[in-house]
Structure 1
Amino acid sequence: MSEKSGTNPFLALVKEEKNLQRSSDLSVKSNINERSKDGDDPTNENVEYSTAIRDSPNKSLGPSKSGSTEAHGLTETSGLNPFLAVDPGLELTEDDSAQVTAASAQQKAEESKEVELSFGPQLPKVNCKEKIVICFDLSSEVDNVPFVGRDGTPFNSSSLIQNVLHIFIQTKNAINANHEFALVVLQERAIWYQDFTNDCSEVIDDLYDLNAEKQDCDEFDMSSLFETLHENVTLPTVENELLPPPYIVRTIMIYGRSKCIPTFVANKEICQYFLKSPYFFMDVFYIHEAPAEENKCKEVYDVFLDMDEMNRAYINEVGKNITQLHDKMAMFLAHPLQRPYQQHCQYTVKDTPEEL
């Protein structure tokens, strides 16, 4: 299960293009964002589910200039959607060029409108204050299976999660000292634990004090989390969406249960109140055991995917892999108003002249 979609939504299309290009001897460079790219680390137990929830339903190629449906490579300056079939070697007349330019402009306008309809208003990309609610899972199930180092040394799961949260809080505070943090604990219901404060030392101390609160949990009421937020969090009111908000609210839910599927016991009205707001972001970090018949890792992950109807959340998952735990926690550092949609993220480092 890679984040959000399991595979890049354009992966199938790129493969089709490559097969067609072999026959036409055209070289096309495809920069594919592989959302979950693990090495041969034996401790890597990430779930690789190929859910199509984030994938675009329309991946067909338009007709080429000659009327053929074969896909041809595009020059970098063509200015067209890469899914429009255009032959870069074809000479265009002035009329043809004007038509291509007009088609490109119309396509961009339609894409912009489509983005706004799908994802809501495009807010100013500013580093305004964040009010971050960290939801820490206190179910004893989190510690059933430890993390294992490369040398085979076992590590307590909750302790490692607290360590990466410690780093995250300190780093966010260093980026912007105005950021505020609050704590919510997750047992069978969500419980508000620590009010908002920009004193990161206080939050970190309270975070490490949670070890004594563990208990067995057979269920988790997801709606209780939004009820708790509704009682303790006020979303900002902005008259003009073109102006930066005074702050945004972000929830980072750390969920570590592999056999307990979150459920919505109450109605979803309060949930929708938050999830539909452009100033609220619901990020999830799902830490699970190795997928097996006796657990429900995929079903749990699908619940989080289904909540993100606006496609604005970052939903990461990791098995009991220490390196991946740190790497994927670092992905939450980006400000929600400044980060791209998760399926557009690119985390690989380009180190060769051809790639730069």
Structure 2
Amino acid sequence: MFNEKGSKNRKNNNSEKSEERRRRMEVERAVVIGGGASRYALKPARIKSEDILICVDVDAESTVEMKTTGTNGRPLIRMECVKQAIILFIHNKLSINPDHRFAFATLSKSAAWLKKEFTSNAESAIASLRGLSATKSSGRADLTLLFRAAAQEAKNSRAQNRILRVILIYCRSSVRPTHDWPINQKLFTLDVMYIHDKPGPENCPQDVYDSLVDAVEHVSEYEGYIFESGQGLARSVFKPMSILLSHPQQRCAQDDLDIPKSLAKKVIVVDAASAEDHYNGNSVQTISQ
């Protein structure tokens, strides 16, 4: 089954990759010890603006109803939930840096452009989503054309001192994605949001998830993240999408992620024997970590 914390469940080479990453970070880090404490000086690096290609699965499974209801009182379908999550993602990402840009693609049997020109205009980007709709069942999902287009766009982005990221939103519970892509070409970073049904006689979401993990590891220049949701709840899509706001150049390994935390588990309100505010004499409640 899936790891509850969203860990990638990587294969045997994961520990080797993690160790290699740690060694590289140690080389770049100078440690100065004095006064009983450690002080770290990190090598300065420019955080580049992102070109973000969002690819949405338009297979018939994207029309599956969720447990969450919309404003009209009817259950949301996955496609509606995905659109809302993308719109929120775009607004939040641009509030962090208005220089980020977005383009869109769809995935059926293979990938196709929905909006090829990258834009930092939120209204223009969101308008592209209005034409997004599901198709019939595709039977297979080949990511090769998506990776090929991303690689070309990544070269264009680099020429402008930017980086490219692909966010794939995948909705199929029994179709494992495939690709034909050389392992030594890591020109962009791949993130995945996987929305699926529960395991059953005709579904193999764990196998699909493992294939998506392999794809992330295969193509990603920086640390790529993958999240999954089989609960049918909108919040199980919105929360991971909020984590994907993180910039690839500033990420820790996903296995080291410990967010989001539940406030109920994180903080405990102390007994109402209120502490006195040392500054203004007001009565305050203390919170214990």
Mark yes or no: TM-score above 0.5: yes
Structure 1 residue 153, shift from structure 2 partner: 5.2
| Alignment pair present for 1:329 and 2:250 | no
Give ranges in structure 1 of 5+ residues lacking alignment.
7-33, 37-48, 59-108, 239-244
Are residues 52 and 283 of structure 1, via their aligned partners in 2, closer, same or farther at CA, if it must alter by over 3 Å? closer
Match of 1:174 among 79, 95, 103: 95
Q: Secondary structure of the equivalent of 2:248? A: coil
Partner residue, 2:23: 113
Match of 2:11 among 28, 35, 53: 53
Tell me the C-alpha RMSD between the 2 structures: 3.3
- Listed one character per residue, the Cα deviations across residues 171-209 of structure 1 (whole Å, up to 9, x for unaligned) are 101111100001011110101221211112111111121
Structure 1 residue 226, shift from structure 2 partner: 1.1
| Alignment pair present for 1:316 and 2:232 | no
CA distance in structure 2 between the partners assigned to 1:133 and 1:171 by the alignment: 16
CA distance in structure 1 between the partners assigned to 2:69 and 2:241 by the alignment: 19
CA distance in structure 1 between the partners assigned to 2:20 and 2:58 by the alignment: 46
Match of 2:121 among 196, 199, 205: 199
Are residues 124 and 130 of structure 1, via their aligned partners in 2, closer, same or farther at CA, if it must alter by over 3 Å? farther
Match of 1:351 among 264, 267, 282: 267
TM-score between the two structures when normalised by the length of structure 1:
0.60
| Alignment pair present for 1:163 and 2:61 | no
- Percent identity between the aligned chains? 28
Structure 1 residue 303, shift from structure 2 partner: 0.8
Structure 1 residue 214, shift from structure 2 partner: 2.1
Are residues 57 and 209 of structure 1, via their aligned partners in 2, closer, same or farther at CA, if it must alter by over 3 Å? closer
Aligned letter for 2:227? N
CA contact (8 A) 1:142 1:157 kept: yes
| Alignment pair present for 1:185 and 2:106 | yes
Match of 2:5 among 32, 35, 56: 35
CA contact (8 A) 2:195 2:228 kept: yes
Partner residue, 2:212: 304
Match of 1:221 among 142, 154, 164: 142
Are residues 315 and 355 of structure 1, via their aligned partners in 2, closer, same or farther at CA, if it must alter by over 3 Å? farther
Q: Secondary structure of the equivalent of 1:209? A: coil
CA distance in structure 1 between the partners assigned to 2:44 and 2:170 by the alignment: 31
Work out which structure has the larger RCO, using CA pairs closer than 8 Å and 6 or more positions apart in sequence.
1
Give ranges in structure 2 of 5+ residues lacking alignment.
28-41, 269-285
Are residues 260 and 246 of structure 1, via their aligned partners in 2, closer, same or farther at CA, if it must alter by over 3 Å? same
Aligned letter for 1:253? L
CA contact (8 A) 1:191 1:228 kept: no
Q: Secondary structure of the equivalent of 1:178? A: coil
Aligned letter for 1:149? T
Alignment of 1:1-356 (within 5 A): 1-2=1-2, 6=3, 35-36=5-6, 51=9, 53=11, 112-113=22-23, 126-143=46-63, 145-149=64-68, 154-194=75-115, 195-211=117-133, 214-234=135-155, 237=158, 246-264=161-179, 267-269=180-182, 272-273=184-185, 276-277=186-187, 280-307=188-215, 308-309=217-218, 312-319=223-230, 320-347=232-259, 348=261, 349=263, 350-352=266-268, 356=289
Aligned letter for 1:156? I
Structure 1 residue 248, shift from structure 2 partner: 1.2
CA distance in structure 2 between the partners assigned to 1:111 and 1:282 by the alignment: 18
Structure 1 residue 115, shift from structure 2 partner: 6.0
Structure 1 residue 258, shift from structure 2 partner: 0.9
Count of residues in Structure 1 that have an aligned counterpart in Structure 2: 245
Are residues 112 and 137 of structure 1, via their aligned partners in 2, closer, same or farther at CA, if it must alter by over 3 Å? closer
Q: Secondary structure of the equivalent of 2:236? A: helix
CA contact (8 A) 1:249 1:281 kept: yes
CA distance in structure 1 between the partners assigned to 2:123 and 2:61 by the alignment: 28
Q: Secondary structure of the equivalent of 2:223? A: coil
Q: Secondary structure of the equivalent of 1:131? A: strand
CA distance in structure 2 between the partners assigned to 1:285 and 1:193 by the alignment: 19
